[in-house]
Structure 1
Amino acid sequence: MDSHPESPIAPPPEAPREPILTLPPALTAYIVLIAVIHLRVLLPPELENWTIDVFGFIPKRYDSTLLDVTFPGGDGAKVWTFVTYSLLHANLTHIGFNVLWLLPFGSALARRFGAVRFFVFMAVTAAAGALAHLLTHEHAIAPMIGASASVSGTMAAAIRFAFVRGSFLSFSRGDADAAARVPALSLSRALRNGRVLAFLAIWFGVNIVFGVGSLAIGGDNVSVAWQAHIGGFLAGLVLFSLFDPVPRARDDAADASSVDQSGRV
């Protein structure tokens, strides 16, 4: 009987690894919405200015002292501008700067929260940023625009889980979905984590430099509303647990999971 050599068995193909940085649908929709709204720059100047007056956040709307100024939008604008200002931007550089920070932090948060939670979170952190701006610019007549407060909120929320083993800023991470679903640290545990504290120090330091130095982004002499950044950041850090659908690990388990295989935290 003839014998035939056995055919080599090919190893099973590896499952494709999804890149850690991909855009979930909710974040894609958010960025597209900002881009479409920015087409307002194609409007005649008087109509574009009217759009900013109606949808931008103007602290003077809530001030009955000093100058008697009437803004378009009426009483309704006192409500919706707490959120709508965040969808307006000064220029493409302003949009690009915010999108750049949304790519890692917003992607992880949108995957973790899902679309509805993500959009509500962005609105809540925008409102928190507007409130912080109002408290520190009580009589300001210049409108504030931009998504930076919400972007700051996503950064703050994401660091509650970003450094946990397997997440997107850890030394040992999984694919995009797995990285976004690791159990988060409690607020108290996060504030005792060395990498979280280092991130906080750098973030607040940069914003203080922007505030003290009155630096501008985009070359149009548009000042940075750094108080709004801080308001959105603090809201994202503190309110994260109200939105988070992933069960939180016990403190002892969180301690173990926050250290990667090389022993670094």
Structure 2
Amino acid sequence: MSEQDGDGQGEAQPAHEPAILIPGGALALIGLLVAVFLAETLVLNQEARLWFLNLFAFMPLRILAAGENLALAWPLVWTPFTHALLHAGWEHLLVNVAWLAAFATPVTRRYGTWPMLILFFASAAAGAAAFAITNFMTVTYLIGASGGVAGLTGAAMRFIFQPIIVGQDPETGERVILGRRLASLSEMMRNPRSRVFTLFWLLINAAVPFLPLVLGGEGVQIAWQAHLGGFIAGVLLVPLFERAPPTADQ
């Protein structure tokens, strides 16, 4: 602690706070989503946009069509991942960007950029698989980052609500913050905040198919399957990136 003298020269200076609190890796992913959307909407004409959508959106019907013509299956190599970069409109994009900023930030800070990106795209693929299970026989396609974002949300649920672990510096003896331990599945569900968030999130998405019964008509077009598949993937995959857990010195 600094001592203040008569002319104020010893006064401690406030720590500099960064202007942007979102990590660079998360910002880069957000920038990519925005750049792809701008390129699609401002550069491509209607015919080119349909070609672009056909090439990069995930279409479950291709799985069945591949039995007749194997060439139709090639987009299935990349579309489980690339569909996460496409969006139907500004509202769709902005909602996903806001959610991504909220949950890519803690995941990136804990694990780094590449693990966050791997979790994002692996969860997007898991969401696409879940979407395909219920849409094999329909002419529909999946676009949007929500499956990947749901995966980051599920990953964050494993640690953001856990207690902060405080240890002791072996040289100075000062108390230092070590971080939060990754919770097991049972610990995650025993924690009141992570349990309530997880159950509420799962129930809301599971209820989407029943909205037409309440609202009438076809209801809203929300890929609830991708949300659920991505979330579960994030919860299960995040331990793969965990380093040695922090432990408090006694």
TM-score by length of 1: 0.76
Q: Note the residue ranges of structure 1 that are not aligned, 5 or more in a row.
A: 1-5, 168-177, 216-220, 254-265
Report what 2:169 is aligned to.
Answer: none
| 2:36 maps to amino acid | I
Q: Could you report, residue by residue, the CA deviation over 1:129-186 in whole angstroms, capped at 9, with x for unpaired residues?
A: 000011111112211100001111111111111112349xxxxxxxxxx999532212
Contact 2:96 2:149 in 1 (8 A): yes
Describe the shift of the 1:188–1:194 C-alpha distance in structure 2 as closer, same or farther (beyond 3 A): same
Q: Distance in 2 between matches of 1:104 and 1:141?
A: 33
Describe the shift of the 1:86–1:162 C-alpha distance in structure 2 as closer, same or farther (beyond 3 A): same
Contact 2:100 2:149 in 1 (8 A): yes
Q: Distance in 2 between matches of 1:222 and 1:195?
A: 29
**Number of aligned residue pairs:** 226
Alignment partner of 1:48 is 2:49: yes
1:107 to 102, 105, 108: 105
Q: Distance in 2 between matches of 1:8 and 1:185?
A: 51
Report what 1:57 is aligned to.
Answer: 58
Q: Distance in 1 between matches of 2:164 and 2:11?
A: 27
Q: Distance in 1 between matches of 2:12 and 2:129?
A: 56
Instruction: Select the structure that is richer in strand.
Output: 2
Describe the shift of the 1:111–1:79 C-alpha distance in structure 2 as closer, same or farther (beyond 3 A): same
CA RMSD of aligned residues (A): 2.9
Q: Note the residue ranges of structure 2 that are not aligned, 5 or more in a row.
A: 166-175, 214-218
SS in structure 1 at match of 2:190? coil
Q: Distance in 2 between matches of 1:214 and 1:146?
A: 22
Q: Distance in 2 between matches of 1:29 and 1:8?
A: 45
Describe the shift of the 1:130–1:243 C-alpha distance in structure 2 as closer, same or farther (beyond 3 A): same
Describe the shift of the 1:102–1:189 C-alpha distance in structure 2 as closer, same or farther (beyond 3 A): same
Contact 1:88 1:147 in 2 (8 A): yes
Alignment partner of 1:157 is 2:142: no
Q: Distance in 2 between matches of 1:86 and 1:101?
A: 14
The alpha-carbon deviation at position 77 of structure 1 amounts to 0.3
Q: Could you report, residue by residue, the CA deviation over 1:201-237 in whole angstroms, capped at 9, with x for unpaired residues?
A: 210122133332159xxxxx86101011000000001
Per mean C-alpha deviation after superposition, the further-off stretch among 43-52 and 205-214 is 205-214
| 2:57 maps to amino acid | G
Alignment partner of 1:26 is 2:20: no
Describe the shift of the 1:29–1:18 C-alpha distance in structure 2 as closer, same or farther (beyond 3 A): closer
Report what 1:189 is aligned to.
Answer: 187
Contact 2:162 2:191 in 1 (8 A): no
Alignment partner of 1:248 is 2:245: yes
How many percent of aligned residue pairs carry the same amino acid? 32
How do 1:161-172 and structure 2 match up within 5 A?
161-166=159-164
Q: Could you report, residue by residue, the CA deviation over 1:79-129 in whole angstroms, capped at 9, with x for unpaired residues?
A: 100100010000010010111111221111122221211111111001100
Describe the shift of the 1:179–1:24 C-alpha distance in structure 2 as closer, same or farther (beyond 3 A): farther
The alpha-carbon deviation at position 11 of structure 1 amounts to 2.8
